Amino acid sequence: MKDFFKMMLASALGFIIASLIFSLISMLIMFAMMGSLMNSFGKQESFALQNNSVLNLRLEGAIQERIAENDPFTDLVGGVPSAMGMNDIIGAIRKAKNNDKIKGIYLDTRLFMASSATLAEIRQELEDFKESGKFIVAYADTYTQSGYYLASVADKVAINPQGMLDVHGIASVPFFYKDAMQKLGIEMQLFKVGTYKSFAEPYTQTEMSEANREQVNSFITDIWKSMKADMASSRNMETAQIDSIANRFPLLKKTDFLLSQNLVDTVLYESEMKNYIRELIGIDADAKIPSATVADMKSVKTQAVKKSTNSIALLYAVGSISSGNGSNGIQDKYMVNEIEKLRKDDDIKAVVFRINSGGGSAYASEQIWKAISELKSEKPVVVSMGDMAASGGYYIACNANKIVAQPTTLTGSIGIFGMVPNFGGTLDKLGISTDVVKTNKFSDFGDVSRAFNAQEAAMMQSYVNSGYDLFLTRCADGRGMPKDSLAKYAEGRVWTGNQAKEIGLVDELGGVDEAIRIAAEMANLGKSYAVFEYPRMKSPIGEIFNKNKEELAAKTLKGYLGESYDMFMLLKNIKDQDYIQARIPYDLNIK
């Protein structure tokens, strides 16, 4: 008995000590967060743009549509990659163009990640900047292909004498997991409509189907065609020269080769490059170069824009489409609520619906489609497509008044599928068996411990067929095309923006600005209007004290899992009975 009380006392004491330690750690984390926030706020408030400044356009990390300002989690959660908002980058370039204190841009492209349509959007902004007569110079130790695509715009492209430059073309190298899953006893039961609907291929095959190979070859060829045309134009070359250079793999060539092929203009050390910039802005050789970063430019004031009776809403829909009421990704209830608020706001005269999504739940896509239909009945809706607006992403776009896409946007993929795992083989390997008692014939429908029987499989396929017919109808009605005509371009096939314009899936080529211009024109606003972004981004303090634990967990998971996050969410949705999916091929692994 004495030993029992000793153990109980020790356990209680241990619990109290552990609680105190946990509380102390929590307080330290909170203070660290607050300190990080105060430091970031202080930095923004103390920045003052000087005369003869240079915009130091340093690109690194993942470039997303937009990010929360002063994100405290990036610094505090280990392993979370840094990110930049495309809207912040474009905003910084525009401010630099119109501010007399900025004399030019120093483009510093490091290791960053961005899809081709995002690159095109930033590149176009750099080209517009040059119209001001201000300079753009680019420097790097190593230019990635994406980095060089942007740098080729510059008036002078310089590289480290021992530097490297990559121009290699585009390849898609997807992974296939069928054999690995088979070893684990997992079978993916697939029900789909669309010859080109290839999302599930990694789980059901060991290589690309011929149809998928055809479509991937088509769209990566078209993306490369656009990219090499832009680079060739900026460097006064022929596109055939770009292909010839890519086939010699310049990454492993010395800088004299890069000079001889007109890929770069000069070879300089960074100190020499800085001296060249000093000459451009007319300051002494030993003087510090006045500069501003993208983050700094956020605090540079422009003419205040107030919401007026002539406003355009720029509504962002980014990520995987799913059922839910959270702000992470595109969750139907949350997005429908945002659309409803814009519909009821009399000051909002038009909406630009910015979509960057490869799709997701077909059910959720239908809910958002309905909300856009109701919004469109009262005010113009113009879709601006980002890197992709495909499958479910096209579903929620198809009913807009106008659709604008970048030439390299991935879109279309009009098709759906259902994918239900069968873990019966896994249970066998583990020596686990199941039994069933049921009141009705289909009481155990969808039981993942066994395969569908023939009748269940036929029912599931019929249901998917019906969903595809509805998807096709929505797109045909939205685009004003006969259903039979549209069907030729459906079948789950992915198209680039260039290709989609030719076949009538989009109306115009361009970026967000073009979509805003069209929306203003449709609403008869002339040039007197203001643009506001929705949904409103949460403040850093709001993020810290956010009571929605699921949102906080999702944010952290996304940081750690990166591109694998969408797969995690897919499995979660399947678990939650969101069987029917409208998604682009999952991991194109484009290099």
Torsion of CA 375, 378, 379, 383, to 10 degrees: 30
Asked if 61 and 83 touch (Cβ cutoff 8 Å), the reply is yes
Bond from prior residue into 290 cis (ω within 30 degrees of 0): no
Helix (H) or strand (E) holding 583: strand 580-583
Q: Fill in the DSSP letter of residue 562.
A: G
Kindly name the residue from 198, 357, 384, 391 that is annotated as catalytic.
391
Q: If DSSP codes are grouped into helix, strand and coil, which group holds residue 504?
A: coil
DSSP class per residue in 184-208: TT-EEEEEEE-TT--TTHHHH-SS-
- Report which of 321, 336, 326, 319 is spatially closest to residue 416, judged by C-alpha positions: 321
Q: In a 10 Å sphere around its CB, with 0-12 CB exposed, 13-18 middle and 19+ buried, how is residue 94 labelled?
A: middle
The Cα-based distances of 547 to 72, 76, 271, 326, 554 in angstroms read 16, 19, 49, 12, 13
Q: Is 116 a catalytic residue?
A: no
**Rounded Cα–Cα distance for residues 407 and 290 (Å):** 37
Helix (H) or strand (E) holding 222: helix 210-234
Kindly name the residue from 103, 134, 192, 197 that is annotated as catalytic.
197
Beta strand residue intervals within 144-237, DSSP E: 156-165, 187-193
Structure tokens at 537: 């981004």
Residues near 379 by beta carbon (within 8 Å), at least 6 away in sequence: 343, 348, 349, 350, 351, 523
Radius of gyration of the chain (CA): 27
Is the torsion defined by CA of 181, 184, 185, 188 positive or negative?
negative
Q: Is 501 a catalytic residue?
A: no
Q: Which residues are catalytic?
A: 197, 391
